[in-house]
């Protein structure tokens, strides 16, 4: 069985709830074809109305999708309805103030939400320092979407051993950050496993409802062609995020 750590249950533009829900038969087809046990599905805050309907599908594990620059404290009541918080545009956007992220972290933690996903294109010392502090002080789980690619990005200044010390609380997703292209083989993933990060890596399709379902096949092939039927990456590691 496979667990998908990051799946966009939305389109690339704002869409009404009923249009998103109309795609459930396609998602069900993808789930059965690829033996998906659970899908960590990212849902825009404005579409939180679909949550009641998704309760009929036990394999969905919904998280709220928030652009950090749009966050306001009054949104916390909506965040309560979700299992985790996906933060868009932080590690890849150096012009955004760290205070924005800290406020969202602290407000979420105050209501018992301690699982976060962050869109990531590169990692530097300042960003890693903030991640380390929240893991140490609040025992949060932080999942860096596109984390494997971000680590080896030309603009990253972090060595793999600096991440290994956060194993158990920090997770790295397998997908690239450039859209609907799956690299086969995934050279960053091969390098990350070789650098001793295997226990931190999580399969993620980064699928979005605009994509054809054949794209999903490519995301799994990207992993299997690179590291084989790696049970840790395809299933086991993400379970620590779900705990």
Q: For 50-90, where are the alpha helices, taking DSSP H only?
A: 51-54, 76-79
Q: What is the pLDDT of residue 96?
A: 60
Cα 126 from chain centre: 21
The reported pLDDT for the residue numbered 92 is: 57
What pLDDT was estimated at residue 91?
Answer: 63
- Residue-wise pLDDT for 54-94, tens only, equals 999 999 999 999 988 888 899 999 999 999 999 987 665 65
Beta-carbon contacts of 25 under 8 Å, excluding residues fewer than 6 positions away, are: none
- The domain locations on the chain are 2-242
State the average pLDDT over residues 118-124: 89
| Per-residue pLDDT at 97 exceeds 70 | no
Asked whether the predicted pLDDT for residue 152 surpasses 60, the reply is yes
Mean pLDDT value of segment 154-174:
94
Dihedral sign (CA 75, 54, 26, 38): positive
Domain 2-242: CATH superfamily is Metal-dependent hydrolases (3.20.20.140)
* Residue 207 reports pLDDT greater than 90: yes
C-alpha 126/C-alpha 147 separation (Å) is 16
């Amino acid at each position: 069985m496979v667990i998908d750590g990051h799946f966009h249950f939305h389109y690339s533009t704002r869409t009404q709830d009923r249009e998103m829900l109309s795609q459930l038969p396609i998602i069900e087809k993808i789930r059965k074809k690829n033996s998906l046990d659970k899908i960590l599905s990212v849902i825009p805050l404005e579409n939180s109305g679909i949550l009641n309907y998704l309760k009929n599908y036990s394999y969905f594990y919904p998280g709220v999708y928030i652009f950090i620059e749009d966050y306001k404290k009054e949104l916390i009541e909506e965040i309560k309805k979700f299992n985790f918080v996906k933060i868009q545009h932080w590690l890849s956007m150096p012009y955004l103030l760290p205070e924005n992220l800290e406020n969202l972290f602290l407000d979420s933690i105050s209501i018992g939400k301690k699982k976060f996903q962050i869109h990531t294109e590169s990692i530097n010392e300042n960003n890693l320092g903030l991640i380390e502090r929240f893991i140490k002080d609040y025992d949060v789980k932080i999942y860096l979407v596109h984390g494997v690619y971000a680590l080896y990005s030309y603009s990253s200044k972090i060595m793999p051993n600096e991440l290994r010390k956060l194993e158990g609380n920090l997770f790295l997703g397998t997908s690239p950050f450039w859209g609907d292209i799956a690299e086969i083989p995934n050279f960053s993933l091969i390098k990350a496993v070789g650098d001793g990060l295997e226990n931190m890596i999580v399969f993620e399709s980064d699928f979005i409802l605009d994509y054809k379902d054949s794209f999903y096949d490519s995301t799994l092939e990207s992993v299997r062609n690179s590291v084989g039927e790696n049970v840790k990456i395809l299933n086991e590691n993400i379970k620590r995020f779900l705990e």
